[in-house]
Amino acid sequence: MDIALAILSVALVVLSMYGVWLPHRLLGLVSSLASGGLGLWSAIMVRLLLAALLWINAQVSHAPTSFKALAVLLFLSAIAHPIVGRDQQGKPNEEINFASAHDAGWRRRV
């Protein structure tokens, strides 16, 4: 289990550094993954993996109740993700774009 946590930690650090140094490429990578059919399922699998790691390692932490609560939240979000789906996730972005096009107070800073 320690090896899985170490690999996940290194992957998160590398992705974070990639996002700091080359943010447009990271956004392109995320967009390409999200537009494909595997994007939804890979997001679900990552959430399930993180939930399992949190639950298993909760006993060795100083706050096992917090770890288990986060694991349950991640598990529930993994279950809700295919129910909500990609169509619902794009709607807030469309509303922001509509509001920013019609009201100067809603201009997005990208």
Residue 76: the pLDDT is 92
Residue 23 has pLDDT above 50, yes or no: yes
Residue 42: the pLDDT is 80
CA-to-CA separations, 92 to 76, 87, 97, 102, in angstroms, rounded? 21, 10, 9, 15
Structure confidence by residue, pLDDT tens digits, 41-87: 888 888 898 889 888 888 888 888 988 998 999 899 889 888 876 55
The ranges assigned to domains in the chain are: 1-35, 37-110
All residues at 6 or more sequence positions from 57 whose CB lies less than 8 Å from its CB, including other chains: 1, 5, 67
